[in-house]
Structure 1
């Protein structure tokens, strides 16, 4: 049997897809361990998960803190201003989160490798220390691409930004990696696990033949203590409205407008809204909009007719796993790329997050609920996802990598 070390950033959406992969490998008798933020990983992967703290736990970075833009937990000192967009948002992400996180995690990754002695390191694309340390130590390593946005090479049309990004990575490698390394640490030369399929992601100019499209990796998750299932109306189309864990600080206006759009269609539509900040308030008797801080997303998607979201990769892929069409309102980071994939694949409608009011959200909802072509496209992507193999297929590829020698 082999040993696999999974290196992840303190972000919910980057841990969740790997939970199923870790479980599949463990069920086959392999040794598995994590390097990352212990409280977050154990909350998502289970209290028995073996976790090497990386970086060491900070008093102000306990479970429940926000990441670089409110994403997940940890990195509480890198809270991004909510109105930051475009190149400035990218600059903040790299200079204030990804690079400092890599430098902070590198000693812990080295220590985890020394203690756990993995045959293969699996590094999330935003946990750069995993890739750079594995490269430095000559270990085979795989990339976990929990979003397909990096494959699109979004910086190709911005050569100056691309050159700045390359310089940043080169300088980071000089500090914590192998000085003679030349590859992009976001793309392993051995194996790239992509948790999507070309039916959604479309043509991918980056990654080459190293990419293995395994589709979404879904695993059982902790459920909210109580969800009012009796309030769901089987006679109306259920719409899930969520901005994920990343955007609680910027969603007040959008969630309010989405609720208004649903209420205008109350005779045929009912919504469940993930409302972590209580924007819509406590309304236990509201028959049209059920707003709660946390909702059982996967359970709801089994019943949903449509999803309104921010085009977060996990939410989009989870919806399409169940064949549910989408209304996507991207905010920043990889979300515009994923939203373009949704529109190009014909599985949903894209609207503008900053300007969409109740009328625009409602019109988009009408389109995805009423257009047979949209639902048929969502069903096709769902079929492709399920055929790709998910966590089991990812485990297969990792087992093959563990049986090979690392390229020189």
Structure 2
């Protein structure tokens, strides 16, 4: 097959797909991967051909401003604004090539529109929960409820009119259901009884593709419990929180690895205790293999990786779907969740120590780990994709 993979400019959306790309290439398929330049090396290392963004799309990403700050409407407004800019580029790529399948990110791939614009099979790649409906009550989707909602509907009508598509609903855009759908977790963790096989293929996280080279000397941990702290790769400007972590765990009988991202420098944190390793980037999977607790922003990708290794989590959600992920964690008793704004060194230490001692949560995480490992079957997913396309060809 000749496959076009469409994605965005975010680690949490691209990293989960890399294992699938690797498996597709290994099976002899050609994969062209459309994403932003910082991820070009990652996708080419998997054997794909990289297709970069135009200057027009790059300018949109740099200059975009939402009209308001309502969490759901802001996400929808960005998705639709992004689709409006990216669809002409995708159409141009499709017109210049002969693809057998399009796999597109459910948030930033325009899948709900592409289904109406091409006869090529469209598969949606769900980098967060696959959902059958929006997480809002119906009254909050009625035109006139909120100015930002009305702007979303205006953009949606504009796109549908431009491409002569029967007007779609915001729910159709948000749920982004493709002919087939790939989900990077287990059916159990995803939840939503309406999201089921065979149209949804549950992969689990792409651990194989994330075997980072590690220069860490993990022997420094010794017999101590290992606490891993990371707020992801995007929203990392939390110098006061990192200082709080140092105050909470300094010189205790734990070892702490803390990733602080590129928006904070280690030099801003003062004296670093001997039981800490603090860097802008750390090999997350290598650490999660050894971690006893993960203090996390509850990003979907990070949570799935932690569950793969059975690590209990202390969730401090910051934006977007992180709140839904944290809620799912706590409802399944796989960790705890607190408000970052209410944290202090004492609360952070006490809550973490309680979590380290919680046998029930640890047992549930280990059960979830088995579920993740049993689900992680990229070979089967690739075969399903092949069978689907071959079936369509035979039917013509």
Task: Using structure 2 for the length normalisation, give the TM-score.
Answer: 0.86
**CA deviation after TM superposition for structure 1 residue 108, in Å:** 1.8
**CA deviation after TM superposition for structure 1 residue 240, in Å:** 1.0
Alpha-carbon distance between aligned partners in 1 of 2:190 and 2:70, rounded to the nearest angstrom: 25
**CA deviation after TM superposition for structure 1 residue 80, in Å:** 7.6
1:309-348 → structure 2 map (5 Å cutoff) = 309-348=296-335
**CA deviation after TM superposition for structure 1 residue 399, in Å:** 1.7
Describe the superposition over 1:253-296 as per-residue Cα deviations: whole angstroms up to 9, x where unpaired: 32222232222xx4321111111233553779631221101111
Q: Is 1:310–1:330's contact at 8 Å kept on the other side of the alignment?
A: yes
Unaligned runs of 5+ in 1: 62-73
Q: Does 1:373 pair with 2:360?
A: yes
Match of 1:146 in 2: 127
Match of 1:66 in 2: none
Match of 1:196 in 2: 185
Match of 2:314, SS state, is strand
Give the 3 Å change call, closer, same or farther, for CA 198–208 of structure 1 in structure 2.
closer
Alpha-carbon distance between aligned partners in 2 of 1:260 and 1:372, rounded to the nearest angstrom: 26
1:273 is aligned, of 233, 252, 258, to: 258
Describe the superposition over 1:196-216 as per-residue Cα deviations: whole angstroms up to 9, x where unpaired: 113323334567863222211
Alpha-carbon distance between aligned partners in 2 of 1:362 and 1:118, rounded to the nearest angstrom: 53
Q: Which moved more, 1:274-283 or 1:117-126?
A: 274-283
Match of 1:93 in 2: 75
Match of 1:71 in 2: none
Q: Is 1:42–1:48's contact at 8 Å kept on the other side of the alignment?
A: no
Match of 2:16 in 1: 17
**CA deviation after TM superposition for structure 1 residue 171, in Å:** 1.9
Alpha-carbon distance between aligned partners in 2 of 1:193 and 1:59, rounded to the nearest angstrom: 26
Match of 2:103 in 1: 122
Describe the superposition over 1:90-134 as per-residue Cα deviations: whole angstroms up to 9, x where unpaired: 333333x32232122112211221233211111101124344234
Alpha-carbon distance between aligned partners in 2 of 1:57 and 1:43, rounded to the nearest angstrom: 21
Task: Using structure 1 for the length normalisation, give the TM-score.
Answer: 0.83
Match of 1:240, SS state, is strand
How many residue pairs were aligned?
A: 384
Q: Is 2:183–2:204's contact at 8 Å kept on the other side of the alignment?
A: yes
2:153 is aligned, of 155, 164, 167, to: 167
Q: Does 1:6 pair with 2:33?
A: no
**CA deviation after TM superposition for structure 1 residue 239, in Å:** 1.1
**CA deviation after TM superposition for structure 1 residue 319, in Å:** 0.6
Alpha-carbon distance between aligned partners in 1 of 2:207 and 2:131, rounded to the nearest angstrom: 21
Q: Is 1:132–1:178's contact at 8 Å kept on the other side of the alignment?
A: no
Give the 3 Å change call, closer, same or farther, for CA 190–235 of structure 1 in structure 2.
same
Q: Is 1:125–1:187's contact at 8 Å kept on the other side of the alignment?
A: yes
1:5-404 → structure 2 map (5 Å cutoff) = 5-43=4-42, 45-46=44-45, 49-54=48-53, 56-57=54-55, 75-78=61-64, 88-95=70-77, 97-148=78-129, 150-151=131-132, 153-155=134-136, 157=137, 159-161=139-141, 164=149, 167=153, 170-171=156-157, 173-175=159-161, 177=163, 179-180=165-166, 182=168, 184-185=172-173, 186-205=175-194, 210-221=199-210, 223=212, 227-229=215-217, 232-249=220-237, 251-263=238-250, 266-276=251-261, 277-278=263-264, 280-281=266-267, 286-404=273-391
Q: Is 1:133–1:176's contact at 8 Å kept on the other side of the alignment?
A: no
**CA deviation after TM superposition for structure 1 residue 359, in Å:** 2.2
- Superposed CA RMSD in Å reads 3.1
Q: Which moved more, 1:252-261 or 1:367-376?
A: 252-261
Q: Is 1:124–1:146's contact at 8 Å kept on the other side of the alignment?
A: yes
Describe the superposition over 1:283-321 as per-residue Cα deviations: whole angstroms up to 9, x where unpaired: 796312211011111111111111001110011000111
Alpha-carbon distance between aligned partners in 1 of 2:220 and 2:55, rounded to the nearest angstrom: 41
Unaligned runs of 5+ in 2: 144-148
Give the 3 Å change call, closer, same or farther, for CA 203–268 of structure 1 in structure 2.
farther
Q: Is 2:227–2:294's contact at 8 Å kept on the other side of the alignment?
A: yes
Q: Is 1:257–1:357's contact at 8 Å kept on the other side of the alignment?
A: yes
